[in-house]
Amino acid sequence: MQTIVTDSAKEAASYINSGKIVAFPTETVYGLGVGICYPDAIENIFIAKGRPRDNPLIVHIARPADIDSVGREIGSDARKLVKHFFPGPLTLVLKKSHTIPGVVTAGLDTVGVRCPSNPIARNFLELCLCPVAAPSANTSGRPSSTSWEAVLHDLKGKIDCILKGAPSDIGLESTIVDCSNTPPILLRNGAVTIEELLGVIPEIRIGENRHNDEPPKSPGLKYPHYAPLARILLCTSGETVIPESETPYAWIGLTQPPVAAGFALVRQCGTTVEYARVLFDFFRKCDTRGIGTIYCELPPAKGIGRAILDRITRAAESN
């Protein structure tokens, strides 16, 4: 299959409106979408990514008000979250409307819904004739794509079109909150932080069920994720790291590495926001450079630091 790369939202939407598969920029990471009115074509997302069939897709809407066409029995907590955080990097899990095909939700009675704030994404979604089901635009298990070049690297020849945009502002996937029950449960950390969510819904709970035997509330949480080819080693700030490696090694964190000499690639981030933005791109750069081990310094567990901790911990578990 030929993969067209375009900066025309109109052209990209015309592919969606004929049941084709299109990658597009958002403020979190790039998405890989198919219109939900083409249930047979949704299958192509799972094929292109090598994604397990039981991992549901997030439905992307152009306007916050479109939530009523996707979910049902939407309660006051969900309404409050929409009011505060839509459009933006927050996905709500709602009871699904009967119009959402089962292939999108992996057979669940709930659906993940997000309204991106990225202007190119919004323009594109407005031109699409139905909401767009889209997971992250990367090979399953690998770091999410935060640039159109990363999408091309993973998916060239497997998808119809890539809508070009700037690198993703946030760089990590959306926060996910399950609003299908009361009180809502935080399922995945992202740029909308627990501190901000508590400010709107003080009763919100933090879901933590991937380390026990219960089935995960969010099916995707049980799969390996975010992993570069390199091994990830986590280290605390100020820890003396003495790499013993025959392959080149790299460092990413908020401080300089303790052993200055010897790192083939070093990325010191000024803030946790910058750390989040560059993390997946750094992982990909390391793979291109043949790095064998990446040392990731643990950021403080607050704000977007929690989302970074989640991603680097899970990348380390995937090695």
272 binding partner (options ligand AMP, Mg ion, none; Cβ < 5 to 8 Å by kind): none
Residue 126 or residue 317: which is nearer to Mg ion going by CB? 317
**If we measure between CA atoms, which residue out of 24, 52, 290 comes closest to residue 159?**
24
Segment interacting with Mg ion (CB under 5 A) among 20-28, 136-144, 195-203, 210-218: 136-144
Give the integer Cα–Cα distance in Å for 130 and 19. 11
Residues 6+ positions from 157 with CB-CB distance below 8 Å: 1, 2, 3
Q: In one letter, which amino acid is 61? A: I
Long-range contacts of 287-292 (CB under 8 A, 24+ apart): 287/228, 287/229, 287/230, 289/248, 289/250, 289/264, 289/265, 290/247, 290/248, 291/230, 291/247, 291/248, 291/249, 291/250, 291/264, 291/265, 292/230, 292/231, 292/245, 292/246, 292/247, 292/248, 292/249
Residue 110 or residue 189: which is nearer to ligand AMP going by CB? 110
Residue 25 or residue 112: which is nearer to ligand AMP going by CB? 112
Least CB distance from residue 293 to Mg ion, whole Å? 24
Of all residues in the shown chain, the one whose CB is closest to ligand AMP is 220
Give the pair of three-digit tokens for residue 271: 């803030």
* Angle separating helix axes 272-288 and 305-317, nearest 10 degrees: 30
Least CB distance from residue 58 to ligand AMP, whole Å? 5
Give the count of residues interacting with ligand AMP (CB under 6 A): 18
Give the integer Cα–Cα distance in Å for 256 and 102. 48
Q: Which of 110, 118, 189, 272 binds ligand AMP (CB under 6 A)?
A: 110
Residue 39 or residue 219: which is nearer to ligand AMP going by CB? 219
Q: Which of 74, 108, 161, 172 binds ligand AMP (CB under 6 A)?
A: 108
Does the footprint of Mg ion cover residue 136 (CB under 5 A)? yes
Segment interacting with ligand AMP (CB under 6 A) among 54-62, 156-164, 260-268, 278-286: 54-62
- Identify whether the C-beta of residue 19 lies closer than 8 Å to the C-beta of residue 34: yes
Give the integer Cα–Cα distance in Å for 225 and 298. 18
Residue 56 or residue 88: which is nearer to ligand AMP going by CB? 56
Q: Which of 147, 193, 218, 272 binds ligand AMP (CB under 6 A)?
A: 218
Least CB distance from residue 87 to Mg ion, whole Å? 20
Least CB distance from residue 197 to ligand AMP, whole Å? 16
25 binding partner (options ligand AMP, Mg ion, none; Cβ < 5 to 8 Å by kind): none
Measure Cα distances from 23 to 4, 141, 152, 276 in Å: 10, 17, 9, 21
* Angle separating helix axes 272-288 and 148-155, nearest 10 degrees: 40
Segment interacting with ligand AMP (CB under 6 A) among 60-68, 105-113, 270-278, 296-304: 105-113
Q: Which of 58, 162, 201, 230 binds ligand AMP (CB under 6 A)?
A: 58
Here's the x/- map for ligand AMP, 161-180, by CB under 6 A: it reads as ------------x--x----
Please count the CA atoms within 13 angstroms of the CA of 187 that sit on its side-chain side: 23
Which spans of this chain sit near ligand AMP (rule: CB under 6 A)? 55-56, 58, 93, 105, 108, 110-112, 135-136, 173, 176, 217-221
